[in-house]
Structure 1
Amino acid sequence: MARTKLTNATIHTPKRKGQLPTKICAVCGRPFEWRKKWARCWDEVRYCSERCRRESRRSQA
């Protein structure tokens, strides 16, 4: 049995996919789920994708 390195992401992440936290995208309004790469900055994540992030900047200008 392989051991995994315990990090904040693995300690605070739910074990099942259905238990992941979700947010609503500020641009398209679609729900999106937590990703491991957002573990450290989940509170600041506002957009579901790079495309939505670019669209938000385009609409501000």
Structure 2
Amino acid sequence: MSKADLPLKPCAVCKRPFVWCRKWVRCRAEVRYCSERCRRRRQGRG
């Protein structure tokens, strides 16, 4: 399977799409941010 065939998911902060990662197999629904930077900048935290 090529990287282009993997499902995309939008980041909750910057709205940029990011691709599926193998380490998220069991927690795909819980992953909301594309990076650590976006996780720190999540809405509601000033």
Same fold, judged at TM 0.5 (above) = yes
How many residues in Structure 1 have an aligned counterpart in Structure 2?
A: 45
Once superposed, what is the RMSD of the aligned Cα atoms? Answer: 1.1
Structure 1 gaps of 5+ residues are: 1-14
Moved over 2 A (4+): none
Bigger helix share: 1
Greater gyration radius: 1
Structure 2 gaps of 5+ residues are: none
Structure scoring higher RCO (CA < 8 A, sep ≥ 6) equals: 2
Structure 1 length as normaliser, TM-score?
Answer: 0.65
What percentage of aligned pairs have identical amino acids?
A: 60
Structure 2 length as normaliser, TM-score?
Answer: 0.82
